[in-house]
Amino acid sequence: MHKDVTGTIFQIQRFSVHDGDGLRTTVFFKGCPLRCRWCHNPEGLRPGMLLAANRQLCVRCGRCQAVCPQGVHSISPGRHDVLRERCRTCGRCVEACPAGALHLVGRQMTAGEVVREALRDAPFYTTGGGVTCSGGECTMQPEFLLAVLRAAKDAGLNTAVDTCGYAPPDTFSRIAPYTDAFLYDIKAFSPELHKTYTGVDNALILQNYRMLHTRGARLDVRIPLIPTVNDSEEEIARIGRFLQEAGRPHALKVIPYHSPGHAKYAQVDEPIWEPEGRFTVTPEEAQRTLEAMLA
Ligand code: SF4
Ligand code: SF4
């Protein structure tokens, strides 16, 4: 028996069909070291619990301001400011709000609890399904991730890790023996491009890819294709050449950009971004180009 470990998640999604083989139970871990401008889960970016405020529902009654011991809420005509850095996520304002405008994102669970919840779906894992650890970025909680993967393997479940690849190599070395497949994002090959649109350099991501490939890990590469960012012929060719040289992935899928919508961003006060143009190379063309390069 391994020691159980507690972590913070913000969702468990049942019957996922895009997060690995078969039907999956996808666990979304809180916290991410990247800030991809097109992220679809802005509520998962910050580690730990988070207060979300839906200003469209807010009736400016001021009850949240009155009950909060930290002075987080500031209500003025037409405005509701949330000073998040002061929030202790005690939930008092959530309970006091008569409009349902506030909620806490995230909950603490042990690895054992996560896997027990996943096991409820086990009867449906008939075509290679299992548990997928996603986020946020699940490697940001390495001990919790390791504990979930070990517990899942102890229970006989297939495991996948959906990752941006930006974590200490040691984290990947430790989780690799308990991971059946890595869903590995390559967002750009050019370091400047990567830094501009995700906030971090990609050297570590490429290094981890090589290391995992050398170890024989299954790598299912996913490339989010974003108009005006990485959809040029040159950038797609650079990614293809990297994969040729570092090691061909088990599978490769180009994921077309879809707007994440602005409502979730506004609730957690993350900056909103939209690409300023259309695809230069379509996702289908990019997929064909990369498949031809890796054939
Ligand atoms: S959760 Fe607690 S600390 Fe945070 S804003 Fe609400 S009352 Fe204040
Ligand atoms: S308690 Fe709810 S409705 Fe009232 S000001 Fe705060 S968020 Fe708005």
* Atom number, ligand 2, closest to the C-alpha of residue 96: 1
One-character DSSP codes across 215-252: TT--EEEEEEE-TTTT-SHHHHHHHHHHHHHH---SEE
- What is the C-alpha to C-alpha distance for residues 257 and 37, in angstroms, rounded to an integer? 11
Q: Which ligand is nearest to the CA of 68?
A: 1
- What is the C-alpha to C-alpha distance for residues 229 and 48, in angstroms, rounded to an integer? 30
CATH match for 50-105 among 3.30.70.20, 3.60.70.12, 3.40.50.150, 3.40.1180.10: 3.30.70.20
- What pLDDT digit, counting tens, does each position of 213-241 carry? 999 999 999 999 999 999 999 999 999 99
Cα–ligand 1 centroid distance for 51 (angstroms): 8
Cα–ligand 2 centroid distance for 97 (angstroms): 5
**Dihedral pair phi/psi, residue 8, rounded to 5°:** -115, 125
Q: Whose CA is nearest to atom 3 of ligand 2?
A: 58
Question: What pLDDT is stored for residue 17 in this prediction?
Answer: 86
- Architecture per CATH, domain 6-46+110-294, reads as Alpha-Beta Barrel (3.20)
- Residue to mutate (ligand 1; options 46, 63, 68; most atoms within 8 A of CB): 68
- What pLDDT digit, counting tens, does each position of 49-79 carry? 999 999 999 999 999 999 999 999 999 988 9
Q: Which ligand is nearest to the CA of 89?
A: 1
Q: Does ligand 1 have an atom closer than 6 angstroms to the CB of 91? A: yes
Q: Which two tokens stand for residue 26?
A: 């996808």
Give the global pTM.
Answer: 0.95
pLDDT < 70 regions, the chain: 1
* Atom number, ligand 1, closest to the C-alpha of residue 91: 1
Q: Whose CA is nearest to atom 6 of ligand 2?
A: 64
Q: Kindly report, as residue ranges, where domains of CATH 3.20.20.70 are found in the chain.
A: 6-46+110-294
Cα–ligand 2 centroid distance for 50 (angstroms): 17
CA dihedral 209, 214, 215, 218 (to 10 degrees): 60
Question: What pLDDT is stored for residue 215 in this prediction?
Answer: 97
Q: Which ligand is nearest to the CA of 58?
A: 2
Cβ pair 111, 148 in contact under 8 A: yes
Cα–ligand 1 centroid distance for 65 (angstroms): 9
Residues sharing a CB contact under 8 Å with residue 109, sequence separation 6 or more, in sequence order: 6, 7, 8, 9
User: For residue 281, what are the CA distances in angstroms to 18, 233, 287?
Assistant: 23, 7, 10
Q: Kindly report, as residue ranges, where domains of CATH 3.30.70.20 are found in the chain.
A: 50-105
Q: Which ligand is nearest to the CA of 104?
A: 1
